[in-house]
Structure 1
């Protein structure tokens, strides 16, 4: 329980500097979240066909809000086809007691009571030209329907996307908005996940960025990645790490790299950077844990800004 509470404290810093209302954000440099149908093989990059995101609404917000989904169907120009489109994706919104604080909700696997809370809305999409390349909107949503978390000073909601059937890849995005028809940011709101399945950009040399926050009690961070397809390099950046190499996976397998945390890195964000070397389409999964194997939240706006390496110059003056 102590480790769980420490995690909540770390997450509580997110709302203080939240700038990213879109998921994925420009700071992450990722085009789409991806969720594959349950019949898709793991070698396509999605290990469990389920994606969970949490949305935090500051307690000062009293008016209704909206969660918008871009291109929610699976069958258009952005999606990954496998022979023919046959995939159904269901998006389900949860609020209420234990939507976030239930121990199964803070997990990288869709097991146990990870659907904790009260179901507020649900919508399924197959091949639907009405929503291809367009926005679908959940809401209006009453902020009071979320779970109030004292350490976050916010009410928390959970949105789960599941590949109910089929074997194609559904590419989509989210936006947390004050408007039902356009994307209008909510001051201080944020979104984060514990396990991220996404599509890398296709350009050779392009980079994707992830920003785990290191609390003061963390000793180690462990980077876990699945199905990177040997597609480049994974490097760790911080105030004291300038591109430390981490391990990466091949086709259809997991890999992990452990990194010891220095005192200068505590209470700050780190940058896990994926550098692409080939031009093929690549979908993969990533998550971060601490030394207790507790997942660390991945969010779009790094707390305190993008970490910058502090160069140290040692000059030895030999005066005679």
Structure 2
């Protein structure tokens, strides 16, 4: 089995045994305001490196009811979105299931290249500046769980949703919710969502910590983090069972930064917490991804597997010895 799939295989056993807290993406525990996808003619300095974002939703095998993928504020204009001059952009949302939706290697890459739109197209819609959708939910579905890709590595059926900024130069800020109901947000028990590259808007208020949660499997001995366009706006640290605010490299405006960090045995098969403390800018959008020592992308889960990590303090009792 591919190492990149083994990451999720271990996790899936935990996912299906847990009780979902809420399928909002970004999740409340992440303290992230919105996902963000800019349209293809926007400046890279606004914080999106490839104008595309892919998320995956996992439905455990035990779940048989129809599901819906809901999008808050899918249009480009009005309440939440970010204009360059006037809102004249288009965002396209597409949902895929069936064979290869997740297991195709291109679907697990950082960049939207090759066959990243793998699988069977189940639904698609393109949105422009439209008051009918401004600040409101749009619902895709219903989808039978069997329409997702049957993926034994995650012990469930996987749906993929891709947002593309297909025209214009504005930023689309939005959220997802994986729901049992087309008209309200009711979580799908045991489900989770993940991505391999995270593009998001940090909290507007300063001194509020945002969190993103990768799961580190038993084969990982080091990770290399990559972040784009953070503008040196605060701190990036790792918090885990064995790291207490371990500092990471920070990116400038219109630039990347990366740093490599050893994974201790205690951190294997656990979630780590990447904490982002913003200091200055009101609006700051950034991109983040991780690779392991095999140069394979590590998924971020919106509901941290096993809950947020707790640092295990080590008390030195050597002074008590004779």
- Taking structure 1 as the reference length, the TM-score comes to 0.97
Q: Which residue of 2 aligns with 1:25?
A: 27
> What's the CA shift for 1:13?
4.2
Q: Do 2:11 and 2:305's aligned partners in 1 also have CA atoms closer than 8 Å?
A: no
Q: Do 1:15 and 1:56's aligned partners in 2 also have CA atoms closer than 8 Å?
A: no
Partners in 2 of 1:133 and 1:120 — Cα distance? 24
> What's the CA shift for 1:303?
1.1
Cα gap change, 1:188 to 1:23, in 2 (>3 Å): same
Q: Does 1:254 align with 2:256?
A: yes
Q: Which residue of 2 aligns with 1:144?
A: 146
Q: Do 2:95 and 2:162's aligned partners in 1 also have CA atoms closer than 8 Å?
A: yes
Residue 302 (structure 2) aligned to one of 270, 294, 300: 300
> What's the CA shift for 1:7?
2.9
Partners in 2 of 1:12 and 1:288 — Cα distance? 20
Partners in 2 of 1:100 and 1:271 — Cα distance? 24
Q: Does 1:34 align with 2:21?
A: no
Q: Which residue of 2 aligns with 1:153?
A: 155
* Deviation by residue 1:184-242 (Cα, 9 ceiling, x = unmatched): 01100111111011000121211110111111110101111000011001000111100
Partners in 2 of 1:50 and 1:69 — Cα distance? 16
Q: Do 1:11 and 1:297's aligned partners in 2 also have CA atoms closer than 8 Å?
A: no
* Deviation by residue 1:30-83 (Cα, 9 ceiling, x = unmatched): 110000000011100000000000011111122211000000000111000101
Cα gap change, 1:130 to 1:223, in 2 (>3 Å): same
Partners in 2 of 1:125 and 1:35 — Cα distance? 13
Aligned length: 320
> What's the CA shift for 1:279?
3.8
Cα gap change, 1:5 to 1:56, in 2 (>3 Å): closer
Please list, as runs of the form range in 1=range in 2, the aligned pairs for 1:164-183 lying within 5 A after superposition. Answer: 164-183=166-185
Q: Do 1:20 and 1:300's aligned partners in 2 also have CA atoms closer than 8 Å?
A: no
> What's the CA shift for 1:10?
3.8
Q: Does 1:194 align with 2:196?
A: yes
Secondary structure of the equivalent of 2:6? helix
Q: Does 1:163 align with 2:165?
A: yes
Partners in 2 of 1:216 and 1:319 — Cα distance? 35
Ranges in structure 1 where 5+ consecutive residues have no aligned partner = none
Secondary structure of the equivalent of 2:193? strand
Q: Which residue of 2 aligns with 1:15?
A: 15
> What's the CA shift for 1:318?
5.8
> What's the CA shift for 1:151?
2.5
> What's the CA shift for 1:20?
3.8
Partners in 2 of 1:54 and 1:265 — Cα distance? 24
Residue 122 (structure 1) aligned to one of 121, 124, 128: 124
- Report the more deviating stretch, 264-273 or 2-11: 2-11
Please list, as runs of the form range in 1=range in 2, the aligned pairs for 1:80-95 lying within 5 A after superposition. Answer: 80-95=82-97
Partners in 2 of 1:44 and 1:31 — Cα distance? 16
Q: Do 2:74 and 2:134's aligned partners in 1 also have CA atoms closer than 8 Å?
A: yes
> What's the CA shift for 1:5?
3.9
Ranges in structure 2 where 5+ consecutive residues have no aligned partner = none
Secondary structure of the equivalent of 1:288? strand
Q: Which residue of 2 aligns with 1:68?
A: 70
Q: Does 1:6 align with 2:2?
A: no
- Taking structure 2 as the reference length, the TM-score comes to 0.96
